Amino acid sequence: MESTFYEGVAHQKAGRLNEAEACYRRAVGWRRDWALGNLGVVLRITGRLDEAEAALREAHAVDPNGLNIRHTLGMTLLQLGQYAEGWAMYEARHQLLPRPTAPFPEWQGESLRGKRILVLGEQGLGDQILWSRFIPLLAAQAAEVRVAVARPLVRLLQQLPVEVFNKQAFEDEKVDVWASIGSVPRWLGAGPDDAPAPTLRGRKPDHPPVGMGLMLQGGDRNPHPERVPGPAVARAVRGLRPFAELAPERSGARDFADTADLIGGLEGVVTVDTSVAHLAGSMGKPCWILMSRPAVDWYVNWKTERSAWYPSARIVRQRTPGDWAGVLGALASELPAAGAEQDPSTAVAGSSFS
């Protein structure tokens, strides 16, 4: 049975998920926690969330301290809208991924009355855009909130009612407690309904929204080439109608504030699953998020074609792995028609950001 388990691992790494699932089911009698944990991963990324939850809960019962099991179960519960337990389980990420830290006590939900709190960015830029919606709720409880994030996010998030600055050394900060931005909703006991989009905005355009924006390349923090359409599909998407390119090297955007200004002047956005999807969704812009299969993001429930976090977004997903042609067909049937006079190619001046 040990060899069967590792055969499943090989199948999973190669993207043969049906074969991996079969192997893990057969290996349950060898290492129940390992087999059920990996089975839960496969079930989750193929969109079978209820089955994934059951497998991961059983694995967690066998090994309550298993970090990967807790982390995956947390993301599954968040997808299913079970936020209180999901946030608690999701804390396991801090022992699996690089985490921020500061030389102050870490906030764990106690009263912030009269206190100053420092919030540190973590994980990807898109994740931080999503979590930024909870900062105003935090500001309503604390005497002072300071938020430290990567440079591309600073100007965008300075529209929040707190001080936002670039990540630096924090020894000189005069605060009482600190928190990771991704842990804030846990300690607030909050979910998407407590801070609904739109929560961010760009500069108000001097003309009615016109044209569509396009982002067909992923970020480089955790690259997944299979999550981005190949050149042929990208050309076909661009052939559907005129688009304004939102990749910073094409738009000239210096940071996410520039990109938000550009999106603010558009009718909507077509994007792969990247930080631009979070930005457009947080602005309440109509957006079509093109998703590959398998998928791993916890902000989308695969039971629906919507996200509770971004009501203005429509999820256009592959029905089978690699089926970008199907995505293209679905997108073509849903996009609003372009007016003959529309020209969405206006760019924002400046240098690109990373």
| pLDDT value for 337 | 66
| pLDDT value for 350 | 33
Q: How far apart are CA 204 and CA 208, in angstroms?
A: 10
pLDDT in tens, 291-347: 887 667 899 877 778 899 999 999 998 888 888 888 999 999 988 765 433 433 333
pLDDT category of residue 275 using cuts at 50, 70 and 90: very high
Q: How far apart are CA 78 and CA 87, in angstroms?
A: 7
Check whether 22 has a pLDDT greater than 60.
Answer: yes
Q: 98 in helix, strand or coil? A: coil
As a whole number of Å, the end-to-end CA separation of the chain is: 46
Q: 200 in helix, strand or coil? A: coil
Question: Average pLDDT for residues 155-181, to the nearest whole number?
Answer: 88
Question: Average pLDDT for residues 283-290, to the nearest whole number?
Answer: 95
pLDDT category of residue 226 using cuts at 50, 70 and 90: low
Check whether 178 has a pLDDT greater than 60.
Answer: yes
Check whether 55 has a pLDDT greater than 90.
Answer: yes
Q: How far apart are CA 205 and CA 338, in angstroms?
A: 19
CA 110 to chain centre: 27
pLDDT category of residue 224 using cuts at 50, 70 and 90: low
Structure tokens at 263: 């999106």
Looking at the DSSP bridge assignments, the partners of residue 185 are none
- Secondary element (H or E) of residue 212: strand 212-215
Ordered structural domains, the chain, with CATH: 2-95 (1.25.40.10), 116-194 (no CATH), 212-334 (3.40.50.450)
Question: Average pLDDT for residues 154-169, to the nearest whole number?
Answer: 91
Check whether 126 has a pLDDT greater than 70.
Answer: yes
| pLDDT value for 5 | 96
The lowest-confidence range among 107-121, 271-285, 288-302 is 288-302
Question: Average pLDDT for residues 228-237, to the nearest whole number?
Answer: 82
Q: How far apart are CA 333 and CA 336, in angstroms?
A: 9
Cis peptide before 294 (omega within 30 of 0): yes
Give the max Cα distance, the chain. 66
Would you say 40 and 72 are in contact if contact means Cβ atoms under 8 Å apart? Answer: yes
Interstrand relation of 144-149 and 212-215 (parallel, antiparallel or unpaired): unpaired
Q: HSE (CB half, 13 Å, CA atoms) of 28?
A: 13
Would you say 251 and 276 are in contact if contact means Cβ atoms under 8 Å apart? Answer: no
| pLDDT value for 221 | 47
| pLDDT value for 319 | 82
Check whether 279 has a pLDDT greater than 70.
Answer: yes
Question: Average pLDDT for residues 197-203, to the nearest whole number?
Answer: 92
| pLDDT value for 322 | 83
Write down the residue that tokens 């694995």 correspond to.
Answer: 59
Q: 183 in helix, strand or coil? A: helix
Sign of torsion over alpha carbons 128, 129, 130, 136:
positive
Check whether 93 has a pLDDT greater than 50.
Answer: yes
| pLDDT value for 241 | 84
pLDDT category of residue 235 using cuts at 50, 70 and 90: confident
Sign of torsion over alpha carbons 307, 311, 313, 317:
positive
Residue type at 274? T
| pLDDT value for 225 | 60
pLDDT category of residue 62 using cuts at 50, 70 and 90: very high
| pLDDT value for 218 | 67
Question: Average pLDDT for residues 18-38, to the nearest whole number?
Answer: 96
Q: How far apart are CA 88 and CA 287, in angstroms?
A: 30
pLDDT category of residue 208 using cuts at 50, 70 and 90: confident
DSSP letter for 39, please. Answer: H
Q: Give the CA dihedral 137, 138, 139, 145, nearest 10 degrees.
A: -150
| pLDDT value for 155 | 97
DSSP letter for 310, please. Answer: B
Of 118-127, 240-249, 300-309, which one has max mean pLDDT?
Answer: 118-127
Q: How far apart are CA 245 and CA 242, in angstroms?
A: 10
Number of other residues whose CB lies within 10 A of the CB of residue 61: 12
The lowest-confidence range among 213-222, 227-236, 247-256 is 213-222
pLDDT category of residue 82 using cuts at 50, 70 and 90: very high
The CA distances from residue 296 to 8, 36, 145, in Å, are 19, 18, 31
Would you say 318 and 293 are in contact if contact means Cβ atoms under 8 Å apart? Answer: yes
Percentage of the chain lying above the pLDDT 70 cut: 90
Would you say 305 and 236 are in contact if contact means Cβ atoms under 8 Å apart? Answer: no
pTM, 2 dp: 0.90
Check whether 272 has a pLDDT greater than 80.
Answer: yes
